[in-house]
A and B are shown apart, each in its own frame.
Chain A
Amino acid sequence: EAGVTQSPTHLIKTRGQQATLRCSPISGHTSVYWYQQALGLGLQFLLWYDEGEERNRGNFPPRFSGRQFPNYSSELNVNALELEDSALYLCATSHRDFYNEQFFGPGTRLTVL
């Protein structure tokens, strides 16, 4: 069974640009969670999508947004990039009723220059 996949693996942008990160869930998983992990810090919850709708978001500005598609894959968009947005962005997925059994993807390393 294929695991959670994320693309791209690495992304380099400059300040002010927009970044789009993608996540494909494990087959059967309908919930997608996005996390930010800055260097040396713990995971910070960004967004939770389920059945195409945003269910909850963490303490991040509105320039962090996303969406979930009918096939349950998801995109994370970061607008007006700032230097401090440089981080590993992790996507996790789960069955709708098993939110605490999240399976993580390998992450996308975003570098903002």
Chain B
Amino acid sequence: KNQVEQSPQSLIILEGKNCTLQCNYTVSPFSNLRWYKQDTGRGPVSLTIMTFSENTKSNGRYTATLDADTKQSSLHITASQLSDSASYICVVTDAGGYNKLIFGAGTRLAVHP
């Protein structure tokens, strides 16, 4: 069964600190992997997208990595800000059939002053 698992489920860090969120997937065949940021009660906003041939992608203070061999991805946030408080969702595209998106349950990040 195609799955996307994220860890930790939730995380609390202090403003200015760095953190890393994990995503493991079993989706095959795999097309690409995307990280979304979702503020509470709002729709997700795309942060990065990577194909199987890419192993890192940055967007400002956000850096995503991908290891297609081990089927693992991480999202690293540098010098966190209060506005980084949100859920971060890992989404993998299942390239079989209807090219369906498989969503992880997300990591809820809280940045405290």
> How many residue pairs bridge A and B at CB < 8 Å?
48
A104 at the B interface (CB under 8 A): yes
Interface size bracket, A side: 20 to 34
Q: B108 → chain A, closest Cβ, in Å?
A: 9
- Distance of A44 Cα from B89 Cα, bound (Å): 13
Q: Does the CB pair B103–A42 fall under 8 Å?
A: yes
- Known contacts A90-B43, A106-B42, A107-B43, A100 near B31 by CB under 8 Å: yes
Identify the closest chain B residue to A103 (Cβ).
B46
Partner of A55, one of B49, B89, B98: B98
Give Cα distance in the complex from A103 to B101, angstroms. Answer: 13
Contact A45 B101 (CB under 8 A): yes
CA A62 – CA B83 in complex, angstroms?
Answer: 39
**Which one, A41, A48, A104, contacts B43 given CB within 8 A?**
A104
Query: CB-CB < 8 A to A92: which residues of B?
Result: 43
Q: Is the CB of B41 within 8 A of A88?
A: yes
Report if B28 contacts A (CB, 8 A).
no
Shortest CB distance B107–A (Å): 11
User: Which residues does B use to contact A, with CB under 8 Å?
Assistant: 31-32, 34, 36, 41-46, 49, 89, 93, 98-101, 103-106
| 13 extra A-B contacts, CB within 8 A, seeds A100-B101, A105-B43 | A35-B103, A42-B106, A43-B44, A88-B41, A92-B43, A99-B101, A100-B31, A100-B32, A100-B93, A101-B46, A106-B41, A107-B41, A109-B41
